[in-house]
Amino acid sequence: MLAGGLLSALASLVIVLPVASADPQQQCNTTVGQTVSQTLQSYLDRHPDVKQQLTAQSQAEGGSNNVIDYLNRHPDIRQHLVDLANKCTS
């Protein structure tokens, strides 16, 4: 059941993320040298639709509204967001 929930979360995120990354200029407002948590929080602040989706998924699992905690519990989703956030800073 947990695997099904994780698969559902990943599928939802994959659908939302391409829309969130539609504006490459907006995505490139990341500062080089930030910690991973700062990078993720900055990305989520610029993409409230992604943050809302992740918050809803965290709550559906019985978690809190803390998206970073959710991403720490799901490293595959976290890494995908880190990759998107750092896309233009490397």
In a domain, 24, yes or no: no
In a domain, 7, yes or no: no
What is the predicted pLDDT for the residue at 21? 47
In a domain, 22, yes or no: no
What is the predicted pLDDT for the residue at 88? 57
What is the predicted pLDDT for the residue at 58? 92
In a domain, 60, yes or no: yes
What's at 59, amino acid-wise? Q
Q: How many domains does the chain have?
A: 1
What is the predicted pLDDT for the residue at 10? 54
* pTM of the predicted protein model: 0.60
In a domain, 44, yes or no: yes
Interacting residues of 43 by C-beta distance below 8 A, sequence separation 6+: 27, 30, 50, 81, 84, 85
Please tell me the distance from the alpha carbon of residue 68 to that of residue 37, in angstroms, as a whole number.
7
- pLDDT per residue over 14-60, tens digit each? 545 544 444 544 445 545 556 788 888 888 888 899 999 999 999 99
Domain hosting residue 58, numbered range: 34-90
In a domain, 85, yes or no: yes
Q: Decide: residue 89, CB within 10 A, 0-12 exposed, 13-18 middle, 19+ buried.
A: middle
